[in-house]
Structure 1
Amino acid sequence: MIIEAIELQDYRNYDSLSLRLNPGTNIFYGDNAQGKTNLLEAVFMASTSKSYRMSRDRDLIRFGAEEAHIKMTVRKRGVPYRIDLHLKKNKTKGIAIDEVPIRKASELFGIANVVCFSPEDLSLIKDGPAMRRRFLDLELCQLDRLYLHDLTCYNRVLNQRNRLLRDILYKPSLQDTLSAWDKELTDYGGRIIEARARFIERLGRRTAELHSSLSGGRERLILSYEQSVSAAEFGEKLTAIRAAELRQHISLLGPHRDDIRFMINERDIRKFGSQGQQRTAALSLKLSEIELVRELLDDSPILLLDDVLSELDSKRQNYLLKTLRDTQNIITCTGLDDFIENRFHIDALFRVEEGRVEMGMETMPQKTGQSRKT
């Protein structure tokens, strides 16, 4: 799958932009705060309806404008798709696929599968569990529509159940309705737990192999799913903690409280790992994500790399660049030295300056390595 073109209007610092992309490696370079990351964010938005920077829709609209548009053309197994996003300051975003409006943003998932890697992802291990759950959910939602449905329903039930737990404080008779919400919570939550467990098991095998290579065979990384409750015991344990939930007015069990554990030599590197171990584990995790998506979809995802190379040493830079094969890559950077030093082939070069994008092929370094197939 590839992105053929993207158009922006009043998005972030872009007044108007129309751009065709190469099916291979596209490099966007320029100084900081010129709009490079905004381009990657727009691609991610058009693929998932969400910003990987977790921004509100109104914050994506150019200052002084009332609305913004993202239009993206994707070709998947030879079939073209046109995705249109209409962002409004005070209304829900509008989304259309091939000019047909869709009712739910979730219908967008799976058309363009993207893997995004930003400097923030290198902190994925040491950040809180919410970030790791978000990583899981974003990837699984792109790969599995049933998971997307279950997660959407689970979050709706969870919010309503938490509201009920608060309301019971003022109206105790409402407690009689809690069991109905318990049933829905455990049904949807159980399927989410099982899907996450399967995904992490497969992801963990690849991550262990990659981490061993990156660490020169000195470390063995083990991923495991840290569940607050198993799917089989969810209903029973939820009943057992009813009194505690009524006291605290919040749901205390379920996949919304789960995490991923990262162990190296029997040490939990979330708490006790060095910064180097945490960053290497995060890199292994993202590279494994790419491989697993390839396997599950029998197709390569679109890779978005947001100024990641500057955060890695030369060994890890080289390892990352070697994985960018048979995929469309959209990469941002401030300079081209890292690509020259790693003898990396560039298919299309763009210079970004103050919300303007210009082709930069005339300044592209000479080919110093073998071109990969696209």
Structure 2
Amino acid sequence: MYLDNLSVINFKSLTQVEVQFDTKINCFVGNNGQGKTNLLDAIYYLSMCKSYISSTDSQVLKHGEDFFVLQGKYNRNNTEENIYCGLKKGEGKVFKRNGKEYERLADHIGFLPVVMVSPIDGELVEGSGEQRRKYVNGVISQIDKVYLDEVIRYNRLLSQRNSLLKTYSKANFSYDLIEAIDIQLSEYAAVIHSKRKAFVEQLIGILQDYYNKVSGGQERVSIRYKSHLNDSSPDELFKNNIERDRVLQYTSVGIHRDDIVLLIDDYPIRTVGSQGQQKTFLIALKLAQFDFIAKVSGIKPILLLDDIFDKLDANRVHQLIDLVANDGFGQIFITDTNKHRLEEVLGKVSSGYRFFNVENGNFELVESK
């Protein structure tokens, strides 16, 4: 699968952009704030129906404008696919595939798999468990629509349960209603837990290999899945904690409290890993994610590498580019502020590429191979 061309109007800093891409490697070079990352985020948006970087749609709308439009022409399994996304203030967003509007945005997730590596991935190391749960949900949702539906239903019921718990001091508090919700929550939680556990187990087997290929180091890396359901059934958890939850006024146990621990030499990388080790770990994690999605879906995701070379030594940069330029990967988009670094790296790859200079939201093709 590859993205043939992209049209962008009023997306973040990009007023109007049209770019034709190489089927393999596409490089964008320019100073910070010129629009490189925004273009990659637009590609991510067309796959995932949301921004990788901005938390709300209002933040991706160019300042002073009341609409944005993204259009991409893809080749997926040798079939042309035209994807349209438009958003107008006060009217919500519309996604279309080949002119037909999706009834649910969730139905589009996974159709055009994508993996993005970005400086904000540091939140997977430094941030809360919520960041890591979002990561796990985002990966599994691209290859399992049942999982995505279960998470949506679980979160909806969880919100209802928390609203009921806030009435703990009132006479009309209903244990029967809580119990009815817990029965459904337990069903969804069991499915979600099982699929998260299977995902982490598969990722562990790939992660070490990619870490070694990028770093050439000897550290052992892994992931540990933390969940209340590892040691107890969901129905027991909810039942045993109902009084505590009434006091707290929220649901204190369940898969919404899950986390993954990122480990290097059996210690949390957050506390013992250097900046270089943490960045290498995150890159290896995303490449393992790519491998996982490709094997399950049968489609190689588009790989977006946004400004990832900082804090990597020259050897690791070369190792990474050599790795992703081979036939095991598909179409790749790379941004960097250092033109000479990318030129040197690309000079050693045999695959085709396009090289763009980016300035004030303008993308100029300067080299093609």
Q: Give me the TM-score of the superposition, normalised by structure 1.
A: 0.91
Change (3 A) 1:122 1:315: farther
CA positional deviation for 1:298 = 2.4
- The match for 2:28 is 28
2:334 to 318, 331, 336: 331
Distance 1:258 1:34 in 2: 38
Change (3 A) 1:171 1:37: farther
Change (3 A) 1:204 1:21: same
1:355 to 2:358 alignment: no
CA positional deviation for 1:277 = 3.2
Distance 1:350 1:85 in 2: 25
Distance 2:142 2:24 in 1: 22
Q: Residue type matched to 2:234 in 1?
A: F
Distance 1:60 1:160 in 2: 30
The SS at the match of 1:172 is: coil
- The match for 1:173 is 173
44-53 vs 280-289, which deviates more? 280-289
Between the aligned residues of both structures, percent identity stands at 29
CA positional deviation for 1:66 = 0.8
- The match for 1:113 is 113
CA positional deviation for 1:253 = 1.5
- The match for 2:96 is 96
- The match for 2:259 is 259
The SS at the match of 1:310 is: coil
Query: Does the 8 Å CA contact 1:22/1:348 hold for their aligned counterparts?
Result: yes
1:138 to 2:138 alignment: yes
5+ residue gaps, structure 1: 368-374
1:341 to 2:341 alignment: no
CA positional deviation for 1:213 = 4.5
Distance 1:143 1:239 in 2: 33
Question: How many aligned residue pairs are there?
Answer: 363
5+ residue gaps, structure 2: none
CA deviations over 1:12-38 (Å, ceiling 9, x no partner): 122222222111111111111111111
CA positional deviation for 1:183 = 1.3
Change (3 A) 1:279 1:171: farther
- The match for 2:2 is 2
- The match for 2:19 is 19
The SS at the match of 1:80 is: strand
- The match for 1:306 is 306
Change (3 A) 1:6 1:169: farther
Distance 2:219 2:39 in 1: 37
CA positional deviation for 1:271 = 3.3
- The match for 1:241 is 241
Change (3 A) 1:96 1:169: farther
Distance 1:133 1:174 in 2: 31
Query: Does the 8 Å CA contact 2:27/2:334 hold for their aligned counterparts?
Result: yes
Query: Does the 8 Å CA contact 2:213/2:319 hold for their aligned counterparts?
Result: no
Change (3 A) 1:44 1:226: same
Query: Does the 8 Å CA contact 1:349/1:360 hold for their aligned counterparts?
Result: yes
Query: Does the 8 Å CA contact 1:58/1:90 hold for their aligned counterparts?
Result: no
Q: Give me the TM-score of the superposition, normalised by structure 2.
A: 0.92
Cα root mean square deviation, aligned: 2.0
Distance 2:21 2:213 in 1: 33
1:290 to 2:290 alignment: yes
Q: Residue type matched to 1:178 in 2?
A: I
- The match for 1:221 is 221
The SS at the match of 1:252 is: coil
Alignment of 1:11-90 (within 5 A): 11-90=11-90
